[in-house]
Amino acid sequence: MIGIRTVLPLCMGLSLFAGNCVMPSACVMPSAVGGGMLEGASSAAQEPALPGLASSSRNDGFERHGYVGDKVCATCHRKEAEAYARTGHRLSSQWPSSRSILGNFDAGANLLVIKQASQDEPGLSFRMDRSSSGFYETAVIGWPGASTKLSERIDVVIGSGRRGQTYLFWKADRLFELPVSFWTKGQRWINSPGYEDGSANFSRPAIPRCLECHATYVQPLSPDFLTNRYVPSTLVLGIDCETCHGPGRSHVRLHLGSLRRKANASENILNPTKFARERQIDLCALCHNGSRQEQLRAAFTYQPGDDLNRYLMSNSKVATVPDVHGDQVGLLQMSRCYLSSPKMTCSTCHDVHAPEQPVALYSAKCLGCHQARQCAVVRKTPASANNCIDCHMPVQQTSGLVSETAGQVIYAKLRSHWIRVYAPQAR
């Protein structure tokens, strides 16, 4: 029987869409209430007035820790800020708009039919609507002419859209995940990963550890690691400059104040390229790790340059294929390239300030250390030297992140960061 269920708050399934979710899949348990509200009702949080780079709106919780927001950073670092604004990191969460939400709300394309009604069983479908008050997901449960509707407004967009998007909504000061996500590859609506097919669940909590990898800041109202109660006005979306460079207030005051002429450009700000390799890797591993799942300290307390082992429990077990969390760092650290190159870090190949390049262009990074003629495949097929990546870092299917939608199982595919020679069938 189709019902409304609630899910333990241990996975939001967001890594499908942003590449860096950090919680394991949840168990499912029955609940009498689904957490939805009557169709047409709106949530509490409102979109701030400043869009784009200005979306890091200043607020008490954010400023209290010395942050200024990336609009302030852009006043001096405009070139970097404008390029970074187009990256997947910066777009990892956004306010809802016709531009940021990629799913189709046109009639016919806005329906997700999970189950048709029969004489004995109610049907279940979801309808995605837009109006002057926002964008909504509505569950329709029952029979034609005798159905129940539950509706919530999309208040937060999670995911740049490279793979897809998931959506969140506020209910007073509580933040929840919506049951329907957008899948880019098929240009279609699907059940949010980890949701039970055939249920209408509006009660999956969005917990701080998940938000830490998709937003710059939000102030929790409880020290409980599994809380989903926050001060809504403190939510700063996207991964902004200060996530990697640390709080910028002292730096800004130094350069814009009376000491400006004496100041060095790098004073009072963190430069990750100056960190020891282990600390550079830790900064990426805060989110791009699959093996670190147990929290030791609260979300949003990690500072760039700190030892991540103080915040997340270290785990030497690394999956040999990309898991639900990606674990790009763990797989990279297993690679001979990393083990034999003392200075190799994630930024050896990735420019965090710029959008990702087409995958074949990363071969130039490989050929900076390796000779193409050393590869037997290249000697046989010289043109393959233009794409080392697809052979030595193949895209692989993961069973750790799955959407079951209307009886169809949809698996995510992620690029392995274990750089090695793969069997032909694994390419």
Give the span between the Cα atoms of 218 and 199, in whole angstroms: 30
Closest among 166, 199, 117 to 17, alpha carbons compared: 166
Contact status, residue 337 vs residue 365, Cβ threshold 8 Å: no
Phi and psi at residue 29, in whole multiples of 5°? -135, 150
CA angle 361–288–306, rounded 5-degree value: 115
Which two structure tokens, joined as six digits, stand for 167? 């959506």
- N-terminal to C-terminal alpha carbon distance within the chain: 42
Both tokens of 207, joined, read 């917990």
Collapsing DSSP states into helix, strand and coil, what is residue 396? Answer: strand
Tell me the mean pLDDT in the region 149-176.
96
Reference 252, options 75, 117, 53; nearest CA is: 75
Contacts for 355 with CB less than 8 Å, ≥ 6 apart: 83, 86, 87, 88
Amino acid at 319: A
Number of H helices, E strands in the chain: 13, 17
Residue 257 Rama label (left phi>0; alpha psi -120 to 50; beta) = beta
d(CA 158, CA 15): 10
At 275-320, the pLDDT tens digits run 999 999 999 999 998 766 789 999 999 999 999 999 998 866 666 6
What are the residue boundaries of the structural domains of the chain, listed by start? 1-46+95-206
How far, in Å, CA of 45 to CA of 97, rounded?
14
Give the percent of the chain with pLDDT over 90. 59
pLDDT tens profile 360-390: 889 888 988 888 888 888 888 887 888 899 9
Q: Which helix (H) or strand (E) holds 413?
A: strand 408-415
| Burial bucket for residue 343 (CB in 10 Å: 0-12, 13-18, 19+) | exposed
Residue 364's CB is within 10 A of a number of other CB atoms, namely 12
For the stretch 73-117, pLDDT in tens is 999 999 999 999 999 999 999 999 999 999 999 999 999 999 999
> Which residues does 247 contact at the CB level (< 8 Å), separation at least 6?
65, 66, 67, 68
Concatenate the DSSP letters of all residues of 313-377 into one string. -------SS--TT--HHHHHHTSHHHHT-TT--GGGT--TTSPPPPGGGGHHHHTTTS-GGG-HH
* Among the ranges given (158-172, 255-269, 301-315, 329-343), the one the predictor scored with the smallest mean pLDDT: 255-269
Which amino acid type is present at position 43?
S
The region of weakest confidence among 6-15, 68-77, 250-259, 269-278 is: 6-15
The full DSSP string for 61-79 is: HHHHTT---HHHHHTT-HH
CA gyration radius, the chain: 23
